[in-house]
Amino acid sequence: MVVADSVFEIKGLARAIAEAPARLLFPPVCAGCRRKVSEPGTLCGRCWSKLRFLEKPWCAVMGTPFSHDMGEGFLSAEAIADPPPFERARAAVAYTGVAREMVQGLKYNDRTDLAPWMARWMLRAGAELVAEAQVVVPLPLHWRRFLSRRFNQSAELGRAVARMAELPFEPEALRRLRGTRRQVGLRRNEREDNVRGAFRVPPEAEIHIRGRRVLLIDDVYTTGATAVAATLALKRGGAAAVDILTFARVLPGDFRPDEAAPI
Ligand SMILES: [Zn+2]
């Protein structure tokens, strides 16, 4: 039948496009500055050198780097003054200009080809967390934002991390009950009010969480308020422990002048 055939052809075409290698769909441009590069998903030399990978020595809890080696298990002032409910947080890179471009590219420009690259760097920074994790859960978007964007960048990163680490991936295990305002510019108590009660483990998902060590994935760790709220919800849902792994992390007071654009 002609109609059925053409429907089949359109479906086939859609599938071919969906499965096409990224280089056919995206011009191979640098993920940082959009200049041409030889391979898709990579950075040019200039942007690569600007990316700041976070490495030891770092705070055993927060994963924030120290300028000197303070010894194993040494904690940052932040972790001591305000111990978080999660066990450890790690991020692959500092949230500077190039990292920001990558995050924005993944979030708004459908550069899903970036997710495996970013996930690989996350696995490196979070190796200790990944080794002990039992389930990978991405930070959910509010459904309204999901409908307008149809894409959750944290889920893309989480899926890639889970696949590479061969861990179960549970994108439905945490639900966002309400939208939150942007955290940037809010005072600390405002930030906490903004995210309090924003997340919940739905009863049908508790089976995936109960008694498990959860690796929570997000694109950027900014103030920590979102990570704290999501951790508390996962623990209420029965999680034994929660670790946070993000692609990038804001390091307060760490921006160089050329990277001082508002975030
Ligand atoms: Zn570049």
Q: What is the mean pLDDT of the chain?
A: 83
Instruction: Tell me which amino acid residue 56 is.
Output: K
Q: What distance in angstroms lies between residue 66's CA and the mean position of ligand 1's atoms?
A: 27
| Helices then strands, each counted (H, E), the chain | 12, 6
pLDDT of residue 245: 98
pLDDT band at 255 (very low <50, low <70, confident <90, very high): very low
> 0.85 exceeded by the pTM?
no
Q: Span 232-239, mean pLDDT?
A: 96
**Cα four-point dihedral sign 206, 207, 213, 214:** negative
Assigned fold of 53-249: Rossmann fold (3.40.50)
**Residues 80, 48: Cα–Cα separation, whole Å:** 33
pLDDT of residue 131: 97
Q: Span 47-56, mean pLDDT?
A: 91
Q: What distance in angstroms lies between residue 132's CA and the mean position of ligand 1's atoms?
A: 35
pLDDT in tens, 98-143: 999 999 888 887 778 889 989 999 999 999 999 999 999 999 987 6
Q: What distance in angstroms lies between residue 37's CA and the mean position of ligand 1's atoms?
A: 8
| Secondary structure of 125-156 in HEC code, one letter for each residue | HCHHHHHHCCEEEECCCCHHHHHHHCCCHHHH
DSSP label at residue 65: B
Angle in degrees, CA 201, 250, 189, rounded to 5: 60
Q: What distance in angstroms lies between residue 149's CA and the mean position of ligand 1's atoms?
A: 26
Q: Span 19-38, mean pLDDT?
A: 69
Closest CA to 22 of 108, 103, 116: 116
Asked if 212 and 170 count as a contact pair (C-beta separation under 8 A), the reply is no
User: And the tokens for 238?
Assistant: 């029965």
User: And the tokens for 129?
Assistant: 């967390």
Q: What distance in angstroms lies between residue 33's CA and the mean position of ligand 1's atoms?
A: 4
Residues with CB under 5 A from ligand 1 (ion): 30, 32-33, 44, 47
Q: What distance in angstroms lies between residue 98's CA and the mean position of ligand 1's atoms?
A: 8
pLDDT in tens, 61-100: 999 999 888 888 889 988 999 899 999 999 999 998 899 9
